[in-house]
């Protein structure tokens, strides 16, 4: 049984004071919800403060990116050595990194290997563009991204994959649950091809793209979907808490 995971990607939002307030506002509510793993991914400059606040909490911390080198002359970059001890997860290959910062699958592959080497759990994002979706290329695109990003990586339950159709991110146009479930089943097959049946059954695969408290049930209720990567709605305590709560309820029922 895979434990569902809800991760909030705050992106380039919140200054230090706002991040501290946001996590303080959400912590007591989220700590009271069990049967779901909860992660917040604040901007780098707030990681340390959020990590301090969450000591002893069930709410975990993730980073939004890292550099694949350990240290050196890479002005403006953040190394895995700076993240270890501050966070457990790291989002890699987000479509915004791919689109605006020219991150290729090859770079994502290097970052993924580095994350695992330093004990950080990657949340690997994959997903197709609108034109690819319209041309029926979703499976092909996602398969290509997965195979290239996971090249020569020994897979384990530490890997999380997030299927995020790019046309659904920040647009308010979420995919439908059945479609997302089909793509995610396909992703699990590919993970099985790249590892083993038992490993593929341990890897959690999330849906991301315009998830809110009004549509989370459509995704969390699907058999292949293990939770969500939430952008905009993770900045609103009521939304994020409700998303986590509903996911926990669905998980409880499915275990009955
Ligand atoms: P969104 O972002 O929930 O605002 O669509 C999701 C993401 O980018 O991970």
* 99: pLDDT strictly greater than 60: yes
By residue count, the chain amounts to: 256
Q: Which atom of ligand 1 is nearest to the CA of 162?
A: 9
DSSP strand pairing (89-92 vs 121-126)? parallel
pLDDT value, residue 255: 60
Q: Which atom of ligand 1 is nearest to the CA of 171?
A: 5
Contacts of 175 (CB under 8 A, 6+ apart): 165, 168, 207, 209
Mean of the per-residue pLDDT values for the chain? 96
CA distance 120 to 160: 11
pLDDT value, residue 98: 96
Q: Which atom of ligand 1 is nearest to the CA of 91?
A: 9
pLDDT value, residue 174: 85
Distance 39 CA to ligand 1 centre (A): 14
pLDDT value, residue 256: 53
At what angle are helices 177-194 and 138-149 packed, to 10 degrees?
40
What is the pLDDT averaged over residues 137-161?
97
Interval 25-83: pLDDT, tens: 999 999 999 999 999 999 999 999 999 999 999 999 999 999 999 999 999 999 999 99
239 within ligand 1 shell (Cβ under 6 A): no
170 within ligand 1 shell (Cβ under 6 A): yes
Q: How far, CA to CA in Å, does 223 sit from each of 2, 145, 205? A: 11, 23, 11
* Answer CATH for 5-255 from 3.20.20.70, 3.30.450.60, 3.20.20.20, 3.60.15.10: 3.20.20.70
Counting residues of the chain whose pLDDT is more than 70, the rounded percentage is: 99
164 within ligand 1 shell (Cβ under 6 A): yes
Distance 51 CA to ligand 1 centre (A): 22
Task: Please tell me the pTM assigned to this model.
Answer: 0.97
Mutate to test the pocket of ligand 1, among 5, 208, 239 (most ligand atoms within 8 A of CB): 208
209 within ligand 1 shell (Cβ under 6 A): yes
What is the pLDDT averaged over residues 144-158?
97
Per the listing, tokens 């530490």 go with 158
């Amino acid at each position: 049984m895979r434990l569902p995971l809800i991760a909030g990607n705050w992106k380039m939002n919140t200054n230090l004071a706002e991040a501290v307030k946001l996590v303080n506002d959400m912590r007591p509510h989220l700590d009271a919800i069990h049967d779901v793993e909860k992660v917040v991914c604040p901007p780098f400059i707030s990681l340390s403060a959020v990590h301090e606040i969450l000591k002893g909490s069930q709410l975990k911390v993730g980073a939004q990116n890292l550099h694949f080198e350990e240290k050196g002359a890479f002005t403006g970059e953040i190394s895995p050595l700076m993240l270890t001890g501050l966070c457990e997860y790291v989002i890699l290959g987000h479509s915004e990194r791919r689109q605006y910062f020219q991150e290729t699958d090859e770079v994502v592959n290097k970052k993924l290997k580095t994350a695992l080497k330093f004990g950080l759990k990657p949340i690997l994002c994959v997903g197709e563009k609108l034109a690819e979706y319209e041309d029926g290329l979703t499976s092909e695109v996602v398969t290509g991204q997965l195979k290239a990003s996971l090249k020569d990586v020994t897979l384990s339950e530490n890997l999380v994959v997030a299927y995020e159709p790019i046309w659904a991110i920040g647009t308010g146009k979420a995919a439908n649950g059945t479609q997302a479930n089909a793509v995610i089943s396909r992703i699990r097959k590919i993970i099985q091809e790249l590892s083993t049946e038992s490993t593929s059954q341990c890897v959690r695969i999330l849906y991301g793209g315009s998830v809110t408290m009004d549509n989370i049930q459509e995704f969390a209720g699907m058999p292949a979907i293990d939770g969500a990567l939430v952008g905009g709605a993770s900045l609103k305590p009521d939304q994020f808490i409700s998303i986590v709560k509903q996911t926990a309820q669905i998980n409880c029922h499915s275990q009955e």
